[in-house]
Amino acid sequence: MQSTANGVALFLSATTLWLASSASAQTAPSEARRPDPLNPKAQVPTVVYRSAFKDYRPNTEAEVGSWKDANTTVHQAGGWRAYAKEARQSDQPEQSLPAASAASAPSKPAAKPSGHAHH
């Protein structure tokens, strides 16, 4: 038992010495310390101001073409109906089943909305 107690004491003293030496090695030199914020004569780095508007570029108006030319272009494309047809075709999901298979598949009744689902 005596040797175990001596070993523990030796370990604790070695650990204490190691911690004390590492703590003193981590202290910063006096030059690297921050200046005292309460000392009005403390040396501090120069404050650099950079305005948020330094690189600001004012908005410029976009050039608007002639409305007559725009109407002519729409007319040549097929008018508003051509644009509506194009939009309707892009909204429709593509069918993965052929039309005959889809017709023979059993249909499920539509589920009724519950609560406030219709809002």
Residue 49 has a pLDDT of 94
State pLDDT tens for residues 32-78: 688 888 999 998 888 999 999 999 998 888 888 899 999 999 889 88
For the record, the structure tokens of 46 come out as 């120069």
Amino acid 32 reads A
Q: Record the tokens describing residue 67, joined without a space.
A: 């409305």
- pLDDT per position as a tens digit, 19-40: 666 555 555 555 568 888 899 9
pLDDT of residue 34: 85
Cα atoms in the Cβ-side hemisphere of radius 13 Å centred on 32: 4
